[in-house]
Amino acid sequence: MKKLMVLLLAALVLPFSVHAEKKTNLVKIQGGQTFNDLSKGVTQSLSEENAGEGNSASLKVTWESDQAGCGVYNPLLKDWSAASSIVIKVFYPGKAISELNLVVVPKDFKGKSRYEARSDSKYILKPGQNTIKIPLGDLVSNGGQPLDLKQIVHFYFAPDVKALAADKQFTIFFQELYLVSE
């Protein structure tokens, strides 16, 4: 009888305690995919260097201009509304704390300028391994409105201007970039 009660209790509690996340890659770096949108002054290459635990490759990106960006224009997955967060795993080889800028652009500007409709966010990078998990609900347009996640047409990264000015280059190794649905 005790065994039956323990099994019954486990059957009731276990589904609530096991929390599976669904991971959807935005760029399949491990499959050899790279960014499809590079500004002049940015280079990228697949690399085995700083690939991260369990990964076979990283995407090495180097900026040589503070006006440059790299990312994905017209992503295959445009509707981010079912996801709870975006995860960016990178290795930063710099010696000092720096920033990574993320810009997310929706299709519908709702009468606003492109700048007002998009979201520009900065995230801290420490030297070495970094995992940045951004709740999508925290992304707000530059005009102060919630970001429309139903039709994302462009997202890209920009360098830390101060780090770029000091070193003349800004390099990071992207290991994984994905959405999480919980």
Q: What is the mean pLDDT of residues 1-16?
A: 45
Asked if residue 112 has pLDDT above 80, the reply is no
Burial level of 31, CB count in 10 A (0-12/13-18/19+)? exposed
Distances (CA, A) of 106 to 38, 88, 92, 146: 19, 19, 28, 11
Structural domains of the chain, ranges and CATH numbers in brackets: 20-181 (2.60.120.430)
Q: How confident is the model over 116-135, as pLDDT tens digits?
A: 899 999 999 999 999 999 99
Q: What is the mean pLDDT of residues 65-82?
A: 93
| Entry pTM | 0.85
Q: Are 144 and 112 in contact (CB under 8 A)?
A: no
- Say what the pLDDT of residue 2 is: 53
- Say what the pLDDT of residue 19 is: 59
The mean pLDDT value of the chain amounts to: 88
- Say what the pLDDT of residue 17 is: 44
Q: How confident is the model over 140-179, as pLDDT tens digits?
A: 999 898 898 999 999 999 998 888 888 889 999 999 999 9
Distance between CA atoms of residues 49 and 26, nearest Å: 21
